[in-house]
Amino acid sequence: MTLQVPAAVPLKAGDTLLYLDGVSVSFDGFKALNGLSFTVAEGEMRAIIGPNGAGKTTMMDVITGKTRPDVGEVYFGGTTDLTKLDEAAIASLGIGRKFQKPTVFESHTVWDNLDLALSGPRRVFPILFGRTDAEGRRRIEEILETIRLTHRRDALAAGLSHGQKQWLEIGMLLAQDPRLLLVDEPVAGMTDAETEETARLLREIACDHSVVVVEHDMTFVRDLGVHVTVLHEGSVLAEGSLDHVSADERVVEVYLGR
């Protein structure tokens, strides 16, 4: 017996972790995303590059439920339609996000920031009476080591340096223990040493998580050594290894050539 596979079987039936197909978003007629399609496999780390205004942040807004696409499909884990869910629900599914501008809870300590991010109950009453258990505290210690902030655990987040805030936010993503991490321009405004350290941190994270990282800094992307998707005017221009896309004339024209 042969199985007749209909031609229209979407790719989402396959083993993608993240699947975007024909996603468009417009703001007052301006198309920030224009038929954007790409997929990320489980366990993959992907870098997204593209000039300013290419729609990278908007793409993250769509995946995390902040912005609804006008048309197009967004699936997570092959079956979950993300366009039907809100931010909290999507976060609970296991998608964590680091903002372009570092966003941590300034009047909380480093420890409390991680504690709030720690995967666990999110409903009002369990949170009201709940308390972080020994296992949770152990995980926080571990993350503090990873992000090199153990010595600042009791400091208020407001007192951290810019780079430390970025790391704390990445640590908060780790504490969420998501299946997919979306990281928006993590090294913007960092010193070279901090940038290197961040690349190390992300590679470490990529060992056991799927990661999508948006970045401008080509040295940093080279450091990561992963597949690259080039975005331009809201759609994919090229995809492949960094050397492959750098050789693409259109990419050179819109982006690298500048």
Ligand X SMILES: Nc1ncnc2c1ncn2[C@@H]1O[C@H](COP(=O)(O)OP(=O)(O)O)[C@@H](O)[C@H]1O
| Site of interaction with another protein (CB under 8 A) | 64, 66, 86-88, 91-92, 96-97, 99, 103-109, 112, 115-117, 122-124, 127-132, 154-156, 158-159, 172, 176
The answer to the question of residue 198 lying near Mg ion (CB under 5 A) is no
The 8-class DSSP code of residue 105 comes to: -
Q: Which does 236 bind (CB under 5 to 8 A by kind): ligand X, Mg ion, another protein, none?
A: none
Q: How far apart are CA 206 and CA 73, in angstroms?
A: 26
Give yes or no for a contact between 45 and 202, defined as CB atoms under 8 angstroms apart.
Answer: yes
Q: Nearest distance from residue 112's CB to another protein, in Å?
A: 6
Q: How far apart are CA 212 and CA 17, in angstroms?
A: 11
List the one residue from 16, 24, 57, 210 that touches Mg ion (CB under 5 A): 57
CA angle 50, 32, 178 (to 5 degrees): 70
Site size for Mg ion (CB under 5 A): 3
The answer to the question of residue 57 lying near ligand X (CB under 6 A) is yes
The answer to the question of residue 58 lying near ligand X (CB under 6 A) is yes
Q: How far apart are CA 84 and CA 50, in angstroms?
A: 28
As given in the structure block, the two tokens for residue 51 are 């000039």
List the one residue from 16, 19, 44, 50 that touches ligand X (CB under 6 A): 50
The answer to the question of residue 54 lying near ligand X (CB under 6 A) is yes
- Stretch touching Mg ion by CB under 5 A, among 22-30, 50-58, 106-114, 232-240: 50-58
Q: Which does 128 bind (CB under 5 to 8 A by kind): ligand X, Mg ion, another protein, none?
A: another protein
The answer to the question of residue 53 lying near ligand X (CB under 6 A) is yes
56 or 152: whose CB is closer to Mg ion? Answer: 56
Q: How far apart are CA 134 and CA 131, in angstroms?
A: 10
Q: Which does 123 bind (CB under 5 to 8 A by kind): Mg ion, another protein, ligand X, none?
A: another protein
Q: Which amino acid is at 248?
A: D
Torsion region of 65: left, alpha or beta (phi above 0 gives left; psi -120 to 50 gives alpha): left
Q: Nearest distance from residue 126's CB to ligand X, in Å?
A: 34
Pairing assessment for the beta strands 45-49 and 227-232 based on DSSP bridges:
parallel
Sheet holding 80-81, edge to edge: 30-41, 16-27, 71-76, 80-81
Could you give the count of Cα atoms lying within 13 Å of 16 in the half-sphere of its Cβ?
20
Binding mask 59-98 for Mg ion (x = CB under 5 A): ----------------------------------------
Contact residues toward Mg ion (CB under 5 A) are 56-57, 100
